[in-house]
Amino acid sequence: MVYFAIGPVERLSAPTRLEFDSATALVVVDVQNDFADPSGSLYVDGGEEVVAAVNVEVARAARAGAAVVYTQDWHPADTPHFAKDGGVWPVHCVGDTWGARLHPALTVAEGAEFVRKGVDGQDGYSAFSVREPLTGARSATALEGLLKARGISRVVVVGLATDYCVKETALDAVRLGFDTAVLAGAIAAVDLEPGDGRRAVEQMRAAGATVDEP
């Protein structure tokens, strides 16, 4: 197998000491082997450091009684999302494979919820929605309903990667009316083009999300 190390990573400052509460959900985006392990097919340089930073926030959220939700890319083996089938990306996070599993060093909170994206071959960038690669048609994941059923009004986003799934999750959260924060010390960017991570931060801020200052 050929592995693609994407980088260099663009990381920002350490997380702000944002206070969690029962009306807050920590959304841990795609901290999976294919993104966070150096052997992963879409490894984000420095992903292991993000795992450690996310673990700090998971512990804080759990102590405060906040909801914790983990998202996973969970693709079929054949999908227009992959370059081999006409898409952009190398094969990654195929369901029930090592690459799709959460990183083994990631803390999984007791009672956490899990949302899988792209299970039917869609582009699964946002935790809140998926998109058909050929038509662009968008449909919702279970996340919005899950959060509203628990009375969640604020979403805190961490994980991988800043310029793709973190950004799209934050933009959707704002669009859906959640008070949205992104912890800059617990994310990392792919940066296919230099500065993509910074531009993603600017987009999230412009949309109304709070992102820590670098």
Which residues are catalytic, by number?
Answer: 30, 117, 165
Q: What CA–CA distance (Å, rounded) separates 151 from 48?
A: 32
Q: Indicate the helix (H) or strand (E) that contains 49.
A: helix 47-64
Residues in the chain: 214
DSSP state letters, 109-150 = -TT-EEEEE-TTS-B--SSSEEE-TTT--EEE-SHHHHHHHT
- Count the helix, strand and coil residues of the chain and give each as a percent rounded to the nearest 5: 30, 25, 45
What is the residue whose two structure tokens read 């999908």?
A: 79
Closest to 36 (Cα-Cα) out of 27, 45, 24, 25: 45
